[in-house]
């Protein structure tokens, strides 16, 4: 915060891919100070599904992403078996359906593990981003054949995507503040069902709350 206040660093985005089940007044005060200093704060919704969001992502002033997935990530005819062979052999920029058939957006689902907001508890969820089956570094001896990368799941992987978009927005327009960036992200996002809409998936949130 001091570096931002003194102008030592330019416009900055903080990515927080962590969370706690309980709010912290000290943590919120630090976040408020960061936002007041011109720092944009992005924190994940957490992976507790229907049990609510994680903090500090649940604070209304924080930009909080939940997690989505893509149905073609799975082996045909399955809803939870990630198609590893498919992903290991695709290059950056691969688009299996660039000009025809259902768009990728129509094949996107909200991950059941993605934290849902409980407004009565002061929680606010802002938007969703890819966070299911995300290729990421995971150094392990049994993964040497894949270069220490694996397909991982959670809002921790959706959060940096949103933080990256926020950074690009600041690069384009450094005058944007936290609230403006949040408003632009939310107004440009596509609406989705809050449940896991994949055929064959029993979404506990939908059954208990729907």
pLDDT of residue 33: 94
H or E element, residue 110: strand 108-110
Would you state the pLDDT for residue 160?
96
What's the confidence (pLDDT) of residue 206?
A: 41
Q: Write down the pTM of the prediction.
A: 0.82
Phi and psi dihedrals of 158, rounded to 5? -80, -35
**Contact assessment for residue 13 and residue 167, using Cβ atoms and an 8 Å cutoff:** yes
Q: Which pLDDT belongs to residue 92?
A: 52
Pairing, β 149-153 against β 132-137 = antiparallel
Q: What confidence score (pLDDT) does residue 146 get?
A: 55
Q: What is the pLDDT at residue 207? A: 39
d(CA 12, CA 34): 10
Mapping DSSP to helix (H, G, I), strand (E, B) and coil, where does residue 74 land? strand
Chain centroid offset of residue 80 CA:
19
CA pair distance 184, 85, nearest whole angstrom: 37
Of 195, 210, 162, whose CA–CA distance to 40 is shortest? 162
Q: What is the CA radius of gyration of the chain?
A: 18
Which mean pLDDT values do the consecutive 10-residue runs of the chain (210 residues) have? 68 93 95 95 95 96 94 77 70 56 72 91 95 78 61 91 96 96 94 75 45
CA distance 143 to 164: 27
């Amino acid at each position: 915060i001091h570096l931002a206040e003194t102008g030592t660093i330019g416009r900055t985005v903080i990515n927080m891919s962590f969370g706690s089940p309980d709010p912290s007044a000290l943590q919120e005060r630090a976040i408020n100070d960061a936002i007041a200093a011109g720092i944009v704060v992005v924190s994940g919704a957490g992976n507790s599904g229907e049990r609510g969001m994680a903090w500090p992502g649940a604070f209304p002033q924080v930009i909080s992403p939940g997690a989505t997935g893509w149905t073609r990530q799975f082996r045909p005819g399955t809803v939870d078996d990630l198609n590893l062979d498919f992903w290991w052999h695709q290059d950056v920029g691969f688009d299996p359906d660039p000009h025809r058939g259902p768009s990728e957006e129509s094949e996107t689902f909200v991950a059941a593990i993605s934290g849902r907001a409980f407004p009565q508890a002061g929680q606010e969820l802002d938007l969703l981003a890819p966070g299911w089956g995300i290729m990421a570094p995971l150094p392990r001896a049994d993964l040497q054949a894949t270069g220490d990368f694996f397909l991982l799941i959670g809002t921790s992987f959706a959060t940096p995507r949103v933080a990256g978009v926020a950074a690009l927005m600041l690069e384009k327009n450094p005058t944007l503040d936290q609230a403006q960036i949040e408003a632009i992200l939310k107004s440009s996002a596509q609406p989705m069902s809050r449940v896991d809409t994949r055929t064959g998936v029993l979404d506990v949130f939908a059954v208990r709350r729907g």
